[in-house]
Amino acid sequence: DIKLEDVNSGETSVHRIGTMVLTLGMDTYDPKEGEYGWSTVPHVISTLDLEKKLRNGELKKAPKNPVFIHCVGSRQNPGEGNRYCSRVCCSAVISIQHELKEMFPDVKIFSAYKEHIRPFASGMEEMWRENRQKGVAYLRWDRERPVTVEQSPDGKEAIVTVYDTLSQETFKIRSEMVVLVLGLEAPHDVDEVTKGLGINRGQDGFLSEMHMKFRPVETTVPGVFVGCTYAKNISDSVNQARAAANEACIPLNLGTVTIELLTAEVNQELCVGCDLCHYSEICPYDAISMVEIEPGVKKSVTDEMRCQGCGACAAICPTGARDMRWWREESILDEVEEMLKE
């Protein structure tokens, strides 16, 4: 049963559901204070801020020497944060630069990219080439010599210093608008959903699928599908969401679900309620919980819809209360004994 709350009216309702498709979206990276001048140099904004200015018609005249700094919060060094590429930001930046050039043909734009430019989306390679032909300067920097941003002594501009590894020259650019190209992250409150549903997150923090190639929209919980996993553009997100919706239709059309019989069961007489199988989080499918059967007495139970029969809980149980239905420890020992006789 799923309990939903209408945040406007405060009303709650409970729904019994058979399948669920999660399309949780993304959040943008929150830069630290001072990171490339964020919240310390007045001329530093994010790609989203610039996008809002463009949509609201706030940009009436060309800013002097706008500089875009790529990969802020993405492809970071080991131990410093997000290691992955956010995949959409190079394309977004190329598209914004194209728009700026159409609005203000004489504006001199600089794009400081970290080692690579990755314009994954369709048509972006061509737009990137067109931008270069129109004079947008793409400067390649690397981790050994990162870009720095400081305020000019008169406070009117930012000074961006970029060592371009291709020309081997250092550029000091006086700019009225420095745009940080922020990476994407899993929604910052995603833990509430994953803990509630018992599904997993990958190392990058995004919801993880059962198998990237063979089961790309399934989760460890049967009936729960992911419509969006790691950072991707709109068309890829729509494709994944469609695939998830199609998968969700299969159990809905069948009307019933067949579950694997090889699940873990608990001998309630042997279970001493030590909580080890639950507290240790040994179960990769979050199929174990403790239930109070009488005041002060707890016993372990298995959610058979979730259990995939991996046997990990049976191995950890100190009293032998947990065992696999149809594949008990005794039967294995009997088989071994018979084989040894032969």
Of 187, 202, 205, 311, the one binding ligand SF4 (CB under 6 A) is 311
Choose the binding region for ligand SF4 from 29-37, 80-88, 189-197, 329-337 (rule: CB under 6 A).
80-88
Give 110's contacts (C-beta < 8 A, 6+ positions apart). 65, 66, 67, 68, 136, 137, 139, 160, 162, 171, 173, 175
69 is an interface residue for ligand SF4 by CB under 6 A = no
- Which of residues 62 and 111 has its CB atom nearest to ligand SF4 in the complex? 111
Supply the DSSP symbol for 37: G
d(CA 85, CA 73): 9
d(CA 170, CA 135): 19
Helix (H, G, I), strand (E, B) or coil at 341: helix
- Which of residues 107 and 231 has its CB atom nearest to ligand SF4 in the complex? 231
- HSE (side-chain half, CA atoms, 13 Å) at 52: 5
Q: How many CB atoms lie within 10 A of CB 243?
A: 16
131 is an interface residue for ligand SF4 by CB under 6 A = no
Burial of 180 (0-12, 13-18, 19+ CB in 10 A): buried
177 is an interface residue for ligand SF4 by CB under 6 A = no
Q: What is the distance in angstroms between the CA of the first residue and the CA of the last residue of the chain?
A: 53
Of 86, 95, 111, 131, the one binding ligand SF4 (CB under 6 A) is 86
Among 108, 107, 61, 71, residue whose Cα is nearest residue 92: 71
Choose the binding region for ligand SF4 from 131-139, 148-156, 234-242, 281-289 (rule: CB under 6 A).
281-289
Of 207, 227, 322, 323, the one binding ligand SF4 (CB under 6 A) is 322
Which of positions 203-262 make contact with ligand SF4 (CB under 6 A)? none
Of 70, 98, 101, 140, the one binding ligand SF4 (CB under 6 A) is 70
Residue with tokens 């970029």, as numbered in its chain: 162
- Which of residues 248 and 287 has its CB atom nearest to ligand SF4 in the complex? 287
87 is an interface residue for ligand SF4 by CB under 6 A = yes
**Which whole-number Å values give the CA distances from 266 to 163, 220, 286, in the listed order?**
64, 21, 16
264 is an interface residue for ligand SF4 by CB under 6 A = yes
44 is an interface residue for ligand SF4 by CB under 6 A = no
Of 41, 62, 89, 180, the one binding ligand SF4 (CB under 6 A) is 89
Which residues of this chain interact with ligand SF4, rule CB under 6 A? Answer: 70-71, 74-75, 85-87, 89-90, 116, 118, 181, 183, 263-264, 266, 271-277, 282-283, 285, 287-288, 300, 302, 307-313, 317, 319, 321-322
